[in-house]
Structure formats: structure tokens, C-alpha cells
Amino acid sequence: MPRKGREAAAATPVPAARVGPYAIDPLELSITRAAEALGVSRKTLSEIVNGRAAISPEMAVRLELAFGKRAESWLAHQAEYDLWQIEQRKEQLHVHAFKRAA
């Protein structure tokens, strides 16, 4: 049975690391050429492709304009992963729940 939601986030790579396999690699683009087309620096795109930086809303729009996959899709994957990451350490947040009066 396929994993869904947050379980899937744990089993998948950082969403930003999907940029290469889903957008750049099929077109056989270099990081330099793709960065030029996106209007960003080679360093910026390299950090995203290598999972060292997240996909921002602006980058999601750039990716949509260049490669066609909807910005909302890039951001949904990123948000799901980000939420999974924080849930792994939610006990460290030291938040106390409010109790409703009966």
C-alpha cells in the first residue's frame, strides 16, 4: 500500500532535491544553463538541487515558468516535508496545550 501524507515525506528526499530529476535532467541541462534560464545564480540552483536550500514561493514560480510543473505543486511538496521535519522534534518546542472549560 502506498504511503500517504507525512509518512510519504519521511520516505522521500528533500523536495528541492527533486528539481534535478523532474525538471533539469530530462532536458539534459547543466546547472549553469538551467540557472541562466531561471534567472538565478548557479550557486542558488545548485543548493536547491542538492537539497541544501528549500524551494521558496518565488523559486516555485520560476520553476513553473521554465518547466511547466505548477508552483503550487512544488510548494505543496516543500510544505509537507517541512511539516514532517518539525513534527520529528515537536516535543522540543515546549508548548503547553490549553484546556477548554467544560
Q: Is residue 61 part of a domain?
A: yes
Q: What CA–CA distance (Å, rounded) separates 102 from 88?
A: 32
Number of domains within the chain: 1
Residue 74 · residue 81 · CB < 8 Å? no
Q: Is residue 87 part of a domain?
A: yes
Residue 6 · residue 12 · CB < 8 Å? no
**Could you tell me the residue range of the domain that residue 82 belongs to?**
11-92
CATH value at residue 65? 1.10.260.40
**pLDDT score recorded for residue 11:** 52
pLDDT mean over 60-74:
95
Q: Which residues contact 42 (CB under 8 A, 6 or more apart)?
A: 31, 32, 35
Q: Is residue 1 part of a domain?
A: no
60-70: b (≥16 Cβ within 10 Å) or e:
bebbbebbebe
Q: Is residue 3 part of a domain?
A: no
pLDDT digits (tens, 9 = 90+) for 45-55: 999 988 888 99
Q: Is residue 17 part of a domain?
A: yes
Quick check: 59 pLDDT over 60?
A: yes
